Structure 1
């Protein structure tokens, strides 16, 4: 039995088997969030689970945590969202956390090599880049090459951030070289620059564009497939609540949770 199967079995044992999710909208809502199940026969778990997670997961993980808490009234899930590289550095420096969900495997490997994971991290979703532009695409940006046109202001994630390293790969594959007006420390920062009209475009995740609720449009480009990011998750060795942490990880790895993430624009692992 592989690790993902074992964790899924653990989730079922904790009373999460009844979770279901519809895939009817681009962001998690009551219709797309798994229904909580009775935990009367589930092993008791309690306390706080502190989750360090990539900023691109904020909307979906916040919604999923609400469902998890309803299934386990004695548990509270607390989040620290941010750039995965920053979170990884905090973990390796001793920041208290129970679970880490990264936006790429490289940052998870940093934590793993430091001896701060409990096992082999499991990829639970993938994500791909798009060009975020103002609604209606007033600048006529159709390709990555259009980002180099005179007067076009672009925001990118810093190269050490997963969305930034993916952008480097996508731009290289397209043989496009550009200098952004800003490098952001997390993908939500790059997206906000477009939403506020401070830049004309940014390379962000497809899930972020769907989660923007119409504040931006997304432009698909051909080399996005050269820079798909895999999102791994694992319980951390320094967890002070390992039982509840393992239950939360197992919950994220259920097919019901996956459907919520897919509805929000992520891809199956």
Structure 2
């Protein structure tokens, strides 16, 4: 996944409209507009994400604003590091300041948490995945940030892969019939994953030869045992209640993936600031 102008522009315009409304920045009348320079500064160490945002954002406010990044997405930055330089009219830079920082701080926080998870797991044979537990309207940004931190993206939405979860189990009569219907509807190329919480569900998923099995809400020793019962042709994911503290205990369970909802639903933003000065 990449952040392109065509995908960024509609979202960024909506974010600006939310902040500027129909009248714009009312505080701008307090001073005479001047050309200024700005520095985006990291106030704590972390992994950077979102360096495509400043240029795309300010192109919607004032195309004369320029942005020069000094680090790339995925880079580790230290406290006090200048991650990029802005130049343009003061009114323009101030109009986009909050939207810019909100996005960069959130994305960099997600990237930092993902990087920490990869380090804590310390097993290159297991990939860290995100989930759909993202803030509405921010999924593109959240999932891109996971990539910057060294994680992989799970499905983007309900439209690009099938996952049968606990509520689906309550609604289907039997798994083989449900899977036949799904294959007829979605075709042979869409991945079908089944979430299991019991041995009976696990065996049913194995018997149906699904593409992927998610072992949900189980202790590491249970995950390890259940993994041994699943053919190598079926990919296995572990999820459910895994925290930064417990994550390392899943490092030797034999799964292919571990998905972590906290990466995007419990975001600790990376502290960044924008400092302006006269040109």
The two structures have a TM-score, normalised by structure 1, of: 0.26
The two structures have a TM-score, normalised by structure 2, of: 0.25
- Structure of higher CA gyration radius: 2
